């Protein structure tokens, strides 16, 4: 089945450690995204990538880094510079807007990061 | 700046009741898309509907219906005869055409009790 796979589902990190969240898609989508979800705040965009080897900062990119070496993969690294990293992280990809596609986002099941 | 407001944080209804989830948006763009997504307990968001800014026709899909009113910048979502399986967090979202940034509201958590 086509979809987006995120791993790990749960991750615990000590303060000062970097962690990398994996995101793989087999939907053949060009665009991929990372969102952060905190209670009562909706989803906020961290980084997005329109094509391979290219990515842009979203609204809350500080303390995060990404790479896009393959179309299928868009890993997110949460660095020790991120002051409040405990959150639920969602990876997504999107179809182009050309009909019959609607440009909607397809999401993975998320990774919950807890800093101890 | 773009903004999406979902003023209802939580709604609780009894099964078979109708419920409306409110969404108000702000944008300076003349063309844009509006979306609704559902987030069940499993965590992944599921796309429900997209509306273009130039198409104000209301839409019905089974028990779901959407009311888009450009004059009030609202895109409300109604579930008729709610069911326990409708319990989830619902997000309204906005994106300009040709853009890559989708702005989400804070979400409304819906509890449907049997």
Q: Chain A contacts of B88, Cβ < 8 Å?
A: none
Whether the pLDDT of residue A116 is over 60: the answer is yes
Q: Is the peptide bond before A8 cis (omega within 30 degrees of 0)?
A: yes
**Phi and psi, residue B72, nearest 5°:** -110, 5
- For residue B91, give the chain A residue with the closest CA: A42
What pLDDT, in 10s, does the model give residues A5-16? 999 999 999 988
**CA dist B3 to A49, A74, B18, B23, Å?**
22, 27, 27, 10
pLDDT band for position A104 (cuts 50, 70, 90): confident
| Whole-number Å distance between alpha carbons of B27 and B103 | 11
pLDDT of residue B101: 84
What are the two backbone dihedrals, phi and then psi, of residue B61, each rounded to the nearest 5 degrees?
A: -140, 100
CA distance B7 to chain A (A): 11
The residue among B4, B35, B44 with the most chain A CBs within 10 A of its CB, best to mutate, is B44
Mean pLDDT within A61-82: 96
Q: Which residues does chain B have with pLDDT short of 50?
A: none
| Among B1, B13, B5, residue whose Cα is nearest residue B75 | B5
Output the pLDDT for position A99: 57
Burial class (CB in 10 A: 0-12, 13-18, 19+), A1: exposed
Q: Tell me what percent of the residues of chain B surpass a pLDDT of 70.
A: 99
Cα dist from A33 to A55, A60, A65, B61, whole Å: 9, 13, 12, 28
What is residue A1's predicted lDDT score, i.e. its pLDDT? 67
Question: Which residues face B10 on adjacent strands?
Answer: B109
Q: Which residues pair with A43 in a beta bridge?
A: A37
pLDDT attached to residue A98: 64
Read off the pLDDT of residues A29-56 as tens digits, 9 standing for 90 and up.
Answer: 999 999 999 987 889 999 999 999 999 9
């Amino acid at each position: 089945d086509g979809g987006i796979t995120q791993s790990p589902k749960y991750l615990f990190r000590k303060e000062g450690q970097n962690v990398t969240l994996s995101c793989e898609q087999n939907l053949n989508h060009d665009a991929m995204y990372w969102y952060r979800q905190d209670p009562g705040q909706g989803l906020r965009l961290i980084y997005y990538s329109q094509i391979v080897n290219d990515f842009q900062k979203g609204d809350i990119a500080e303390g995060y880094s990404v790479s896009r070496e393959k179309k299928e993969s868009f890993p997110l690294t949460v660095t020790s510079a991120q002051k409040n990293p405990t959150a639920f992280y969602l990876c997504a990809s999107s179809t182009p807007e050309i009909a019959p596609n609607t440009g909607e986002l397809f999401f993975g099941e998320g990774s919950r990061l807890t800093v101890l | 700046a773009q903004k999406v407001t979902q003023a209802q944080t939580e709604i609780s209804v009894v099964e078979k009741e109708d419920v409306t989830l409110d969404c108000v948006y702000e944008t300076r763009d003349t063309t844009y898309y509006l979306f609704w997504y559902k987030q069940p307990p499993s965590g992944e968001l599921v796309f429900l509907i997209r509306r273009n800014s130039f198409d104000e026709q209301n839409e019905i899909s089974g028990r779901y219906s959407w009311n888009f009113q450009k004059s009030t910048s609202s895109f409300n979502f109604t579930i008729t005869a709610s069911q326990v399986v409708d319990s989830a967090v619902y997000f309204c979202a906005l994106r300009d055409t040709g853009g890559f940034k989708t702005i989400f509201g804070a979400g409304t958590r819906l509890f449907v009790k049997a």
